[in-house]
Structure 1
Amino acid sequence: MSRVPPVAAPWVRTRLRAAPGAAVALALLVALTACLAAAFPRAVDRYEDAGLLRTLRQARPERTTVQVSAPLPVPGMTSGDPSATLRPEVLRRQYEKLIAAVGSPLSVDRGQSAYGVATDASPAVPDPWIPRPTGHPAHVSLAARSGLAEHARVREGRLPRASGPVDATSPGVEAAVTAATAKNLHIEVGSVIHVPGVGRGPLAVRITGVLTPRDPAGAYWSTVPLLRTPTLVALPVPGPVQNYWLGALLLPQEAAPALLGTGGEPARHWYLAPGLGGLRAHDLGRMRSAIASLQSGPGLRRARALTSPDADVGSGLDGVVASFSRLRSGISPLVAVAATGTATVAAVVLLMAGVLAADRRRPELALLRARGASLPGLAGRLLAETCVIAVPAGALGLTAALLLVPGGRAGHAVAAALAVTVTACAALPLHAALAHRSVRVTGPREDVTAPRPSRRRTVAELTLLVLAAGAVATLRRSGTSAGQLVAAAPVSTGVVAALLLLRLHPILLRGPARAAGRLRGAVGHLSLARAGRTRAFAVLPLLALLTALTTAAFGGSVLTGVAAARDRAALLTVGADARVDAAAPLPAGLDGRVRALPGVHGVAAVSITYDAKPQDGQETVPLVGVDPAPYAELAAHTGLAPFPAQLLKAADSLPAVASPSVARAYGIRRPLPVRLEDGSAVTVRIIAVRDRTPAVPGADFLVVDRAGLTAAAARPTSLLLTGAHLDAGALRRAAATASTAVRVRAEERSRYADSPLQTGAEHVYTAAVAAGAGFAFLALLLSLLRAAPERAALLARLRTMGLTRAEGRRLLVLESLPQALLAAAGGTLTGWAAIRLLSPGIDLTTVALATSPTPPTESGLRPDPWSLTVPAVLVLVLAVGVAALQAWWTGRRGSVRELRAGDGR
């Protein structure tokens, strides 16, 4: 009976069974990294899309709707009946073709779009029963629009309709008005409005119904607000205000030809409301091109071909999109900084995982090479081994990202997860191929103090230095418009710092090592000598640490600067933690009720006269009357140009604190007569100059002791409050009068961060910085884990020579301390240098105060001490803690295992 030869176990299955823990750890690392990498672009797309949608919704439909207008054909220039162009079926066919002609990515919301005929001019109507506020007759606009029945509910009467054929000679038509128009113009069902005709008698418009809009804020009613709400139009004449009412009469579409007989200059209109649900921020460029094409390009030519050669396309959508694009262009480069830093650290960790696996299996791979294994064959087997682990893990991470972050483009997420998977798969075989490209019996000595840097390394480092210097210089000169340089500059600074520290590391250890050699104990000298030769302080972990520390310092400074800018802007706007203002003097006893509220620390009552006239001239300056002691405490608490209370207390004249502009205009320490609103006058003397004051936000002011004012002028008009955690609701209830307005600093601050683009960018930025810090600490752990077997063997040998457990702990702690201290100090210094170098090109005002059209303050990038020091301290604590834990664990296990043959290499 023939003997069946045994079947060799497959390589991949054998290796996975031999080290299941390492396989699981690699799978978890790849899955987590792939999930974060895939989630990032989707999160960015998500908050950018939400920001664009918010911007478009906040813009009025009269700005966002695309309006196509075409005048009527000139009589005699075209054959046929002009009224034929106003028929509903003709306008509808043109409407459908216009929708089809709108270029992608714009889409049309059919539910809010409309078409019809309306008068561009609004003739005056002679009916005396319509209100005339200043004696001028009311004007009306006539509109025959599609979709009236679908967009309005009948409140009274019925919808208008056309009885029989209607043309320019028809004596009358029916119409409807909205409830707001009926109320303000005193229109009722059955009212008749006579619209002047041209070459004929007036057109009698009988009102058959009063309508209520179903969606008053929708584009159907808000594109032309006059259809919904009448308005008082002021005449451009000198003297007292002269105005008249302007309202809209809504005709049925079949009655549009009747407009030809009026002087209202009828024209055809197509209103194409954009479909907001289909707009995406990443299509911003195509969107702007499509809008430009409609307004003055091929789209306009198509619209004219479909409607009229004289048609015109107008929309404010391009301005809305441009404003959002400016905001996004100011925020995106800053988010890219955190993304680039985190991606760099994650890539380093993946490479370190491959390096650690290759080092752990160095004897095995060297033996295979010595027995004739080819380098491609060995690399292929390692690649297959890692692919079996990394590919399913990457797919799992991608799936988790797609489920956890809905919305956004899937293609970018797939590309990011694929990059992570490829990096994880290639790290082990590439490093193994480089390490074993020649067959060796023993491994090379890895002593960082012995070999001199090669010329290639010197050239590469100088090249990186030049590139980093160029990126920083360009960013300082061009700001955030430098594009990707904003993201690359901090990372390149960290790379250069890592290379510089690697060169300085042996030099910096020589002095302490010589000093330790003269000491009696051997632990200090031995630890410093080993610190110069340890493999834990290699390029990859140092690069990960410095990049993460630089990114964390930069990101923390950005977030701190944004928060500080909002706090400062809210403070400048309110002037205190809260304030109560009134146009008239405040009710008596209000300051006592407010002072008794929880959280209120101080109350400063002030009287503000905004129209005070120095030297009885035409120029006005706000005059602020204050109680010196409480107001000085308020200025000191807020930091808004504090001054001692004694400045406002003088016997000879009424001293004043003035702004620089007022002091330059009227002089210092000279008597200055000031006329107040009540007709009284005071004489002040400017004795101090401050650039701002809490009571008024402007650049012109005079602050005086209100005890020197008349009783009427001294009555408080504002209360400025200081305190923590003020209850805005309780404050409004305490000051609940018709003439008071309450503003709270915390609420004002929240208004600066209500854009999804801002809040989303801040959340993604924070998450990216936190992820980068986590990967950096993982890199530090991997570097310490790489050196753990060698340290354990060393402690075992030294224990046989009489080294105590306490000395073993000190040895490992002192060995890890120089590297961790150098990395922490280098990271802190690099972060500080990156912020100082890049701050001239970084303006945080766009991120912090994007919703304010005129920001009260500007914000730049400044180093944040906590962001610089806390991550560095954590690096020290982690490095020392891991070393101490390893020493304790090794001492507990004993020395037998580490001293077995082959284990102490």
Structure 2
Amino acid sequence: MRTAKVSAACAPWVRTRLRTAPGITAALAVLVLVTAFLAAAFPRAVDAYGTEALRREVGTAPPGQSVLEVTSPPPPLGEPLPAREQALREEPLSGIHRSLLASLPEPVRADAEDSSYGVHTTKGMVATEPWLPRPNAAPPQFRYAAPSALDEHSTLTAGRWPAVRGEVTAKTGEVEAAVTVETAAELGMEPGSTIAVPTQGGQPLTVRVTGVVEPLRPGSGYWAVDPLYRAPSLVQDPGSPTPVYYWTAALLLAPDAGPVLLDTTGEPELYWRLAPDASGLTATDVPRLRSALASLENGPGLLELRSLIGPNTALLTNLDALVDSYTATREAIDPVVTVAAVGVGTVAAVVLLMTGGLIGGRRHGELALLRSRGASLAGIGGRLLAETAVAVVPAAALGLGLAVALIGEARWWPSVVGAGSVAVLVCAALPARTALEHRRPLLHGAREDVVAARPSRRRTVAELTLLVLAVGAVAALRRRGTGSDGDLLVSAAPVLVGLIAALVLVRLYPLPLRLAARPVARLRGAVGFLSLARAGRASASGTLPLLALLIALTTASFGGSVLAGISDARDEAALRAVGADARISGESRPEALTDGLVADVRAVRGADGVVPVRIEYANPLSPASKARSDTPRVTLLGVEPDAYARLDRAAGLPSFSAGVLAAGGEGDALPVIVSPSVAGKLGDGPHTVRSSGGDITVRVAGVLPRTSAVDSDTFMIVDRSSLEVSGPTTLLVTGGRLDGKALRAVAHDADASLGVRLRAEEREALSDTPLQTGAERVYGAAVGAGAGYALLAVLLSLLRTAPERRTLLARLRTMGLTTAQGRRLLASEAMPQALLAAVGGLLVGWTAVVLLAPGIDLAALALADAGPAAASTASLRADPVSLVLPAVGVVLLTAGVAGVQAWWASRRGSIKELRAGDTR
């Protein structure tokens, strides 16, 4: 009974603490909620955009590249003819088709609606009908196919559907077929047309066209795997000494007419075309998908197919190449994203530790009293763990739930690990810090100023160890890059650089304070000296905010430079592709663009300037009489010197003086500006070059590495008025707000064959893959989160010393300090560390970019199709805005928070702060 009374009289510890400080508990829960959400959302976002990219890669690929085509020859001649004929009929083919759909190994799955099967000939057979077109007096050749479900994949536009009359055998004399609209139009076929097909027995087979069909989905695998099913094609005869072309096309027989092809000379073949179903694929299925495809092509899966169909069955597909391309891009992008994840994760961990330190510091007196009255470290730690877990665990679970709800189709366990790590870190930080601080009694009033502190040997060893790790990580990143099996240490290189810089700055921090305090002490005002003295009396253990700020600023600067590098690379690639803001091109036309078109383009809304250029490709660097197939070629650009030089300068490219091309040459030689490779071939003297208007003699008057009109390293620029045939073939249009629709209308009105390319559209097309857009969004979110944690670190560092600041102002007001002086004092006291973090973060961010740029590959992340120039255009460069903006933000926020603290302290009375016995 006594024990029960004591228990009833004791209020529960956790409930009491939560009621005593609900604001701190709520703030901690919100911070954990946000951090757990980010930790859980990051792996889910990476999985989500990886899954979307894989499905798009497989689902939008041309059917000829993605379809799994299973083929098998007919049964051998040694088997009875009825058995051979039966194998080519609809019923056994459809049964095998169903078995194939069911037997594909996971995660390979087929789309039954887009899959098809049937029998077709693999060789074309000549048709001698005189009414068929003969482009070069060569008769057309036809292939014949009996595909499944023709009526489900097309509509009948003329005649009737082909059908079988009775049972079709190898000796049947006539069968019916259908042709597509395009085949009928090109070859002059219609319902009732007949084709005589040569057979092995000598008696020709008659194929009668009964209908003309229109494909429902011409781009589907049913029609696109073999393009002849949909439309005829002109083919060059490889055995003819002169170019001879003939038509080749396909006739589509009734589904059950396959046995008739056994007696033809077309070498019939059974086929099953299985269109892949990408709707169920996920990014984590890639290893299994590659293994399954390898098994089907040359492994146990192929043996199973052969046991089902026949010993000579083969499976052909390019789906494995698509998966390999996706994997290569993913492997190039993921390490760059990991760099951002490691950075923001480190900053978040430091901020969480700062939060635990702030809470523990506020309760230092309370916990010291409990310790002095006999409380054990385990008991204190257990109670702190309980009260922390009550707020942290539900918040982390809620953050995990939000991440799962907002980002679907991703793995669970990485998100659970991320959110769980946040909860464990926060729950362990406060008890661990308490155990370390209260292991033994602390002397009252003991103080460790940052100016007087001396680093211990253990700290020196730890700092040297981190220095070695940082140097190793930077060296590995520069040598191996992020795409060569980069491990976590390599991805942490920017963080390690910021960490080492923070440790160095902490050691150097007392020196400028000592140097600045001496001259300030001689001044008449007390504010300056007091602010420096207060900054110097800050606790040496309070360097965690500086560490958080430097890592956050380094991460934000590095990430901002990465995003700026991506944007610059896309701008550069779009400029290389177009040459200006818009390009109207007619290089393939023999006729030059008219002056009327130039005038109409100038009148288009948003067009600031139009530069006509004549472009001639592959001109030999020799006279016409000596030109051979192996003669070096050059792209000749005929320009208006003044306008073209302005265009190059406006695009930020190396330009030239218009007078260089306008000046007279030696004799009849025309001055030209060439690329470095062409300059090496031409030399210094006159050289004769072939052009469309005849031979011209040129001499090198200047060298440019690049030019606007072409993205080529073999170009030659000449004054267009000096050419005999000088009409422009291309218009380069400049203007920040071009009306693309109007520009296309003007060009098409002049000539429908003219092409119009806009720089803005080219740039947008460079980032149209889910891998790029998803990774860029994740990277941008990581940079934003890092900046947010940096600002939170500033707030926490100022909140940590807020009670001490209020007491200081109360005491100084009793000595005559004015309110304005108090505000300046608090702002000045906070500035040294803020300025150190800002300047250090700026320098460290720039250093990290310079050190790590050679190892960061932005080509895959920046460009959808990284071309040869991607290595030079998609490089990491220091972005001034990304470096300066976070640093300035830290200084402004620090000044603003200090000012608010001073204003709030001035509104409160001094009685509460100046209590008897207060040691603050």
1:657 Cα offset (Å): 1.7
Give the match for residue 681 of structure 2. 665
Q: Distance in 1 between matches of 2:901 and 2:540?
A: 14
Q: Would the aligned equivalents of 1:109 and 1:275 in 2 still touch at CA under 8 Å?
A: yes
1:606 is the counterpart of 2:624: no
Q: Which moved more, 1:458-467 or 1:269-278?
A: 458-467
Q: Which moved more, 1:766-775 or 1:36-45?
A: 36-45
| From 542, 547, 551, the counterpart of 2:551 | 547
Q: Would the aligned equivalents of 2:601 and 2:743 in 1 still touch at CA under 8 Å?
A: yes
Output the amino acid matched with 1:368: L
Cα separation, partners in 2 of 1:205 and 1:901, compared to 1, 3 Å: farther
Q: Distance in 1 between matches of 2:785 and 2:261?
A: 67
Q: Distance in 1 between matches of 2:425 and 2:50?
A: 29
Cα separation, partners in 2 of 1:146 and 1:536, compared to 1, 3 Å: farther
Cα separation, partners in 2 of 1:238 and 1:74, compared to 1, 3 Å: closer
Matches within 5 A, 1:878-889: 878-889=893-904
Output the amino acid matched with 1:22: I
Output the amino acid matched with 1:494: G
1:444 Cα offset (Å): 5.2
What's the secondary structure of 1:278's corresponding residue? coil
Q: Distance in 1 between matches of 2:10 and 2:91?
A: 81
1:643 is the counterpart of 2:671: no
Cα separation, partners in 2 of 1:697 and 1:4, compared to 1, 3 Å: closer
Q: Distance in 2 between matches of 1:636 and 1:440?
A: 70
1:238 Cα offset (Å): 5.9
Cα separation, partners in 2 of 1:684 and 1:758, compared to 1, 3 Å: same
Matches within 5 A, 1:160-559: 160-237=162-239, 240-440=242-442, 442=444, 445-480=447-482, 481-484=484-487, 485-535=489-539, 538-559=542-563
Q: Would the aligned equivalents of 1:534 and 1:787 in 2 still touch at CA under 8 Å?
A: no
Cα separation, partners in 2 of 1:163 and 1:502, compared to 1, 3 Å: same
Output the amino acid matched with 2:623: Q
Matches within 5 A, 1:759-778: 759-778=773-792
What's the secondary structure of 2:355's corresponding residue? helix
Output the amino acid matched with 1:642: S
| From 812, 829, 833, the counterpart of 1:819 | 833
Q: Would the aligned equivalents of 1:144 and 1:252 in 2 still touch at CA under 8 Å?
A: yes
Q: Distance in 1 between matches of 2:361 and 2:825?
A: 24
What's the secondary structure of 2:167's corresponding residue? coil
Output the amino acid matched with 2:549: L
Cα deviation code 1:103-155 (max 9, x no counterpart):
21221111111222222222222223222222222222222222323222222
| From 890, 906, 909, the counterpart of 1:875 | 890
1:20 is the counterpart of 2:36: no
1:634 is the counterpart of 2:650: no
Q: Distance in 1 between matches of 2:438 and 2:353?
A: 17
Matches within 5 A, 1:742-821: 742-821=756-835
Q: Would the aligned equivalents of 1:70 and 1:312 in 2 still touch at CA under 8 Å?
A: yes
Q: Would the aligned equivalents of 1:536 and 1:787 in 2 still touch at CA under 8 Å?
A: no
Q: Distance in 2 between matches of 1:179 and 1:596?
A: 43
1:733 is the counterpart of 2:763: no
Q: Distance in 2 between matches of 1:226 and 1:731?
A: 37
Cα separation, partners in 2 of 1:508 and 1:102, compared to 1, 3 Å: farther
Q: Distance in 1 between matches of 2:156 and 2:520?
A: 96
Q: Which moved more, 1:852-861 or 1:381-390?
A: 852-861
What's the secondary structure of 1:811's corresponding residue? helix
Unpaired runs of 5+ residues, structure 1, are none
Give the match for residue 38 of structure 2. 36
| From 576, 586, 596, the counterpart of 2:593 | 586
Identity of aligned residues (%): 53
1:182 Cα offset (Å): 2.2
Cα separation, partners in 2 of 1:835 and 1:255, compared to 1, 3 Å: same
Q: Distance in 1 between matches of 2:592 and 2:129?
A: 45
Q: Would the aligned equivalents of 2:125 and 2:198 in 1 still touch at CA under 8 Å?
A: yes
What's the secondary structure of 1:204's corresponding residue? strand
1:322 Cα offset (Å): 0.9
Q: Would the aligned equivalents of 2:859 and 2:866 in 1 still touch at CA under 8 Å?
A: no
Q: Distance in 1 between matches of 2:34 and 2:618?
A: 64
Give the match for residue 13 of structure 2. 11
Output the amino acid matched with 2:236: A
Cα deviation code 1:3-34 (max 9, x no counterpart):
97753321111111111111111121112222
What's the secondary structure of 2:257's corresponding residue? helix
Output the amino acid matched with 1:308: G
Q: Would the aligned equivalents of 2:120 and 2:146 in 1 still touch at CA under 8 Å?
A: yes
1:275 Cα offset (Å): 0.5
Unpaired runs of 5+ residues, structure 2, are none
1:514 Cα offset (Å): 3.2
1:778 Cα offset (Å): 0.5
1:63 Cα offset (Å): 0.8
Q: Distance in 1 between matches of 2:638 and 2:353?
A: 68
| From 584, 604, 615, the counterpart of 2:623 | 615
Q: Distance in 2 between matches of 1:545 and 1:844?
A: 26
1:864 Cα offset (Å): 0.9
Q: Distance in 2 between matches of 1:363 and 1:729?
A: 73
Cα deviation code 1:527-582 (max 9, x no counterpart):
22321332497343222211211111111111111111111122122222222222
1:88 Cα offset (Å): 2.9
Q: Distance in 1 between matches of 2:184 and 2:552?
A: 66
What's the secondary structure of 2:712's corresponding residue? coil
RMSD, aligned CA: 2.4
Q: Would the aligned equivalents of 1:578 and 1:745 in 2 still touch at CA under 8 Å?
A: yes
Q: Would the aligned equivalents of 2:450 and 2:540 in 1 still touch at CA under 8 Å?
A: no
Output the amino acid matched with 1:844: L
Q: Distance in 2 between matches of 1:748 and 1:812?
A: 53
Q: Would the aligned equivalents of 1:370 and 1:440 in 2 still touch at CA under 8 Å?
A: no
Q: Which moved more, 1:343-352 or 1:214-223?
A: 214-223
Cα separation, partners in 2 of 1:83 and 1:11, compared to 1, 3 Å: same
Q: Would the aligned equivalents of 2:819 and 2:906 in 1 still touch at CA under 8 Å?
A: yes
1:65 Cα offset (Å): 0.9
Give the match for residue 896 of structure 1. 911
What's the secondary structure of 1:260's corresponding residue? helix
1:646 Cα offset (Å): 1.0
Q: Distance in 2 between matches of 1:451 and 1:609?
A: 74
Q: Distance in 2 between matches of 1:443 and 1:268?
A: 93
Q: Distance in 2 between matches of 1:300 and 1:78?
A: 27
Q: Which moved more, 1:838-847 or 1:412-421?
A: 412-421
Q: Would the aligned equivalents of 2:445 and 2:919 in 1 still touch at CA under 8 Å?
A: no
Q: Distance in 2 between matches of 1:69 and 1:675?
A: 52
